């Protein structure tokens, strides 16, 4: 392995500060626990269990993610396409180590993942790779037609055997359905916001008050 390659991280991203990580974890846990008790959720339980009449404990269903973060560029130590170019972008170099305020605008749950949608500001978009959405095209064909930044998220939990990269794909899938005007039937107003169902076990809670999360732009070497 070339030294030049090993000097690139596993990924770049915004890392949530410890205090806000706890708050986000608690809020998503609250959401999951409440979702589990809703009649509307029970009606679509087979999305999660694959069989009727079976119960699911969502708290147990997902395993938690380590340090909460919003990935900007997955570099895979330089093996990922465009990794070097991203690391060399002036904005990336200038803003490395700076503090940001991320806006978490929605929470979503699918049979595979739990995550929070991040609504990026114009300033934050300078750190967002232009092809982030397009890279998910094989999984979500409409991904490239969604606005830049659509994929921005914080992974909060994964079902057994599911990789965190799936969280962004699940979010893009929901946003693609929204864009097509499909699904998104309003299920109910919860204390945290409005809950909508997008079919196949996909639930999106638009937060009444977005969570403002302090985060540091940095990288992770794994
Ligand atoms: P996410 O950003 O949804 O949390 P891993 O531990 O699997 O190597 O992943 C490290 C981080 O990079 C995770 O945060 C993960 O997902 C993200 N990630 C992994 N693979 C990709 C990929 N192909 N494209 C974008 N992000 C990725």
According to the model, what pLDDT value does residue 19 have? 94
pLDDT tops 60 at residue 3:
no
- Which residue's C-alpha comes closest to atom 13 of ligand 1? 164
Nearest residue to 75 (alpha-carbon basis) of 170, 150, 161, 6: 6
Considering the candidates 112, 117, 151, 153, report the single residue annotated as catalytic. 153
Q: What is the pLDDT of residues 172-188, one digit of tens each?
A: 999 999 999 887 888 99
What percent of the chain stands above pLDDT 90? 90
pLDDT tens-digit profile of 128-185?
A: 999 999 999 999 999 999 999 999 999 999 999 999 999 999 999 999 999 998 878 8
What is the model's pLDDT at position 7?
A: 86
| Best CA proximity match to 108, nearest among 153, 43, 140 | 153
Pocket test for ligand 1, best of 74, 128, 132 (most atoms within 8 A of CB): 74
Residue 25: is its pLDDT beyond 80?
A: yes
For position 1, what pLDDT does the model report?
52
Residue whose CB lies within 8 A of the most ligand 1 atoms, among 16, 165, 166, 222, for a mutation test: 165
Give 58-101 pLDDT, tens digit per residue: 999 999 999 999 999 999 999 999 999 999 999 999 999 999 99
Check if 167 has its Cβ closer than 6 Å to any atom of ligand 1: yes
Q: Ligand 1 within 6 A of 164 CB?
A: yes
Identify the pLDDT of residue 2.
55
Range 188-208 average pLDDT? 96
What is the ipTM metric for this complex? 0.97
**Burial group, residue 75, by CB count within 10 angstroms (0-12, 13-18, 19+):** buried
Question: Quick one: pLDDT at residue 183?
Answer: 74
Residues 165/74, Cβ–Cβ less than 8 Å: yes
Atom 26 of ligand 1, residue of closest alpha carbon:
74
* 190 burial level (CB within 10 Å; 0-12, 13-18, 19+): middle
Strands 113-119 and 99-109: antiparallel
Please, what is the average pLDDT of the chain? 94
Active site residue 153: yes
Residues 6+ apart with CB under 8 A from 88: none
- Is 44 a residue of the active site? no
């Amino acid at each position: 392995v070339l030294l030049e390659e090993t000097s690139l991280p596993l990924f770049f991203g915004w890392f949530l500060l410890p205090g806000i990580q706890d708050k986000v974890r608690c809020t998503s846990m609250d959401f999951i626990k409440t979702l589990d008790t809703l009649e509307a959720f029970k009606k679509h339980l087979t999305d999660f269990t694959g069989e009727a009449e079976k119960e699911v404990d969502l708290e147990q269903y997902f395993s938690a993610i380590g340090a909460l973060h919003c990935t900007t560029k997955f570099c895979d130590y330089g093996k990922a396409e465009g990794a070097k170019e991203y690391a060399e972008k002036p904005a990336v170099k200038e803003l490395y180590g700076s503090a940001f305020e991320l806006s978490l605008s929605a929470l979503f749950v699918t049979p595979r993942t739990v995550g929070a949608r991040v609504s990026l500001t114009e300033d934050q978009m300078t750190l967002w790779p232009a092809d982030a959405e397009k890279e998910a095209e094989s999984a979500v064909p409409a991904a490239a037609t969604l606005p830049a930044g659509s994929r921005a998220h914080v992974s909060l939990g994964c079902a057994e055997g599911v990789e965190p990269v799936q969280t962004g794909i699940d979010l893009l899938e929901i946003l693609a359905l929204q864009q097509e005007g499909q699904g998104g039937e309003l299920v109910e107003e919860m204390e945290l916001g409005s809950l909508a169902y997008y079919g196949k076990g996909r639930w999106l809670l638009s937060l009444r008050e977005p969570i403002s999360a302090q985060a540091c732009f940095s990288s992770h070497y794994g």
